[in-house]
Structure 1
Amino acid sequence: MKKFKIKSPVMDICKAIQDKIDNLNKPKGSLGRLESLALQICLIEQKLEPTLHNPFHILFGADHGIEKEHVSVSPREITWQQMINFTHGGGGVNMFCRQHGFNLKIVDVGVDYDLSSYKGILNYKIAGGTNNFLYGPAMTNEQFNKAINIGSSLVFDCYNEGCDVISLGEMGIANTSPSSIWMSLFGNIPLDECIGAGAGLDKKGIDHKREVLHQSVDNFINKYKDTDAESIIRYFGGFEMVAAIGAMLRAAELHLIILVDGFIMSACMLAASKLYPDVLEYAIFGHCGDETGHKKMLHLMNAKPLLNLGLRLGEGTGAICAFPILDSAVRMMNEMNNFENANITKYF
């Protein structure tokens, strides 16, 4: 696997940041979460006047072999149909990108359909979906490395265009299944507590999904016994998920802010943190979604999501929806006056 140089932000500037926050013309701590968010952003960027230049949203699309076991209420063709819909500007992700000024990259890393004729989709297809992990690894080591490198290189492209905040999203029917397994194995949480309805399974469907995922994990454990994080990611992950991990790791290496979406992208950040723990220092979690287990998954990373709106669409919509809160934190640092300049007596 590609090596990344990821370190926690240097803390030397921390006192200066906190002093600036505390001396803005307001009661100390009165802007609550905006203050801690501003501190994190300033630490990531290593400056007292933070910026949110040229934000990019990268949406990775791919199909999953496990979908063939009917673990999702939605059929496989939804993946490619939605990818095409995104090129027409008709998706939820398109709406939020337009609203908040995000540049959108739509990337095919493994959709089981020929999308090469659609100019709005970047073609990085590794294969027409992963293998069915009920019977063996979802991808080969070579495919895993390709996915990591694709995500990494796309983030570097955004960085070269002046981007300092990256949001990531996914489109892949059945990708709650590998996410639930990653959550269970990485968090040492019973698998049943990690499995939900996904796109809308009923009780019978969820019970079937549990049976399939339990058998898949049992097969993996019986075959491999001692496993590392990379092996778990490769065995169960989707191409879009591994590409997102590569994107997250490169973004942290470049000291970019990483906006994390819902259940799937949180699972990717959890997996990324098992490879490079310091990646979490660069993550801002947009929301707590409505998928079973997301709250517990966020707790595993000590994450404090900005929103709780019952969202479960995916695509990165919850992350982009939270962007104005980051903007408010940055504006607080750059536009609020301080007590001295405003000739106001400190009142705390």
Structure 2
Amino acid sequence: MLNLEIQPVKKEFFDIAWKRLNNLTKPQGSLGKLEEIAAKLVAIYENPMPEIKKKAVLVFASDHGVTQEGVSAYPKEVTAQMVFNFLRGGAGINVLARHAGAEVVVVDVGVDYDFEKVNGLISKKVVKGTGNIAKGPALTRGDAMKCIEIGIEVVKEYHSKGYNLFATGEMGIGNTTPSSAVVSVLTNSPVEEVTGRGTGIDEETFKRKVEVIKRAIEINKPDASDPVDVLSKVGGPEIGAISGVVLCCASLRIPVVVDGFISTAGALIAYCINPAVKDYIFASHNSVEKGHKRALDFMGLKPLLDLNLRLGEGTGAALAMTIIEAGLKIYREMATFDEAGVSKSDK
């Protein structure tokens, strides 16, 4: 399953893109990151004139046993309640996905709730909540692999329907705790430097959260050289599914817009499995969670936006989709000097 073939993007397609970009009716480089985005899309799609057809934000939901340690400002029941909110179209991600012209796809990978058959929900439940990482592993290795496979399956299914731009999203009360543990282990960073306040916890809860993460790492001894081991011991189902999304998008040569801290923890696992995925990732934003920047820096990714976001769900990624699409529209629709009959700079 992890033998997906992923090739680095080819320089020749960047050359094609920059030749056109440098001949558009503007001073060279004057549209900055928008031009870089367009060139990257040409290289990812291996198409001199690529087109974004259909867009989807894949939102994976799961519960976490570590909420028993009092690390979140919200009770775990909120995970299932928010899944219903997503399905009704009332959450932040629904609003911003509509703005971006993207579909929201909600996938249950580990919510501790029996949804039965709910219209619009994709049921891929692996566990009913993870184990409490402060006392033992989050998942078995087999379940961790299943979670990665789910991310791959969902991308393949939607790609076959014509979707060729995906964003990652998640919902899971307590999931900044396993994300901090994953980032701490894989980037070899002190826990204090990659742990934030999640949904807005107070100082006492924050200190408890740091201690819980340290204990989880000490008890489970995740192997930093084995990303699946890290996922299974201190991660979570939605983190694993997101890593599968990133791996699959890279293998299919389609871009993936990664959201905030939890999504980036998933992308980090994918990167540690195969660093070539980096070429296919757009880092949407730099969140308030301080571990987020550490993970992005580790992968050498620069976020498109910095808006003090910390909601998750895929909200930052949906916003970034609008910027990415703007970059491609500039590339596709702006006239060249020759087409417009405009004189070029002679310098």
Which category describes the TM-score, using the shorter chain as reference length? over 0.9
Is the Cα contact below 8 Å between 1:79 and 1:171 reproduced in 2? yes
Is the Cα contact below 8 Å between 1:48 and 1:333 reproduced in 2? no
Is the Cα contact below 8 Å between 1:66 and 1:174 reproduced in 2? yes
Is the Cα contact below 8 Å between 2:66 and 2:134 reproduced in 1? yes
Counterpart code for 1:344 = V
Aligned residues: CA RMSD: 1.4
- C-alpha deviation, 1:13, in angstroms: 2.3
Deviations 1:196-249 (A, max 9, x none): 11111111000011111111111223xx67752221121111111101111111
Distance in 1 (alpha carbons) for counterparts of 2:93 and 2:269: 24
Q: Which residue, out of 338, 343, 346, partners 1:345?
A: 343
Distance in 2 (alpha carbons) for counterparts of 1:22 and 1:280: 25
Deviations 1:75-122 (A, max 9, x none): 100000100111111111111122221112111111000112321211
Report 1:85-124 matches (<5 A): 85-124=85-124
Seq. identity, %: 36
SS of residue paired to 2:163: coil
Distance in 2 (alpha carbons) for counterparts of 1:244 and 1:294: 15
- Structure 2, unmatched stretches of 5+, are none
Aligned residue number for residue 152 of structure 1: 152
Q: Which residue, out of 242, 245, 249, partners 1:244?
A: 242
Aligned residue number for residue 26 of structure 1: 26
Moved more, 29-38 or 12-21: 12-21
Deviations 1:3-56 (A, max 9, x none): 211111122222221111111111011011111111111100111212111001
Is the Cα contact below 8 Å between 1:17 and 1:48 reproduced in 2? yes
Aligned residue number for residue 220 of structure 1: 220
- Structure 1, unmatched stretches of 5+, are none
Q: Which residue, out of 270, 284, 287, partners 2:285?
A: 287
Query: TM (normalized to structure 2)?
Result: 0.96
Aligned residue number for residue 197 of structure 1: 197
Report 1:330-341 matches (<5 A): 330-341=328-339
Distance in 2 (alpha carbons) for counterparts of 1:32 and 1:141: 43
Distance in 2 (alpha carbons) for counterparts of 1:209 and 1:338: 55
CA shift in 2, pair 1:225/1:241, >3 Å: closer
Counterpart code for 1:279 = V
Aligned pair 1:10/2:10, yes or no? Answer: yes
Distance in 1 (alpha carbons) for counterparts of 2:31 and 2:2: 41
Query: TM (normalized to structure 1)?
Result: 0.96
Distance in 2 (alpha carbons) for counterparts of 1:293 and 1:146: 26
Q: Name segments (4+ residues, structure 1) moved above 6 Å.
A: none
Is the Cα contact below 8 Å between 2:286 and 2:305 reproduced in 1? yes
Aligned residue number for residue 314 of structure 1: 312
Aligned pair 1:139/2:139, yes or no? Answer: yes
SS of residue paired to 1:330: helix
Q: How many residues align?
A: 346
Report 1:167-206 matches (<5 A): 167-206=167-206
SS of residue paired to 2:143: helix
Distance in 1 (alpha carbons) for counterparts of 2:184 and 2:224: 16
SS of residue paired to 1:164: strand
Aligned residue number for residue 80 of structure 2: 80
- C-alpha deviation, 1:296, in angstroms: 2.5
SS of residue paired to 1:104: strand
Aligned pair 1:272/2:270, yes or no? Answer: yes
Distance in 2 (alpha carbons) for counterparts of 1:330 and 1:133: 43
Is the Cα contact below 8 Å between 2:181 and 2:235 reproduced in 1? no
Counterpart code for 1:177 = T
SS of residue paired to 2:31: coil
Deviations 1:277-334 (A, max 9, x none): 0111000011111122222222222211111111111000000011111111111111
- C-alpha deviation, 1:253, in angstroms: 0.5
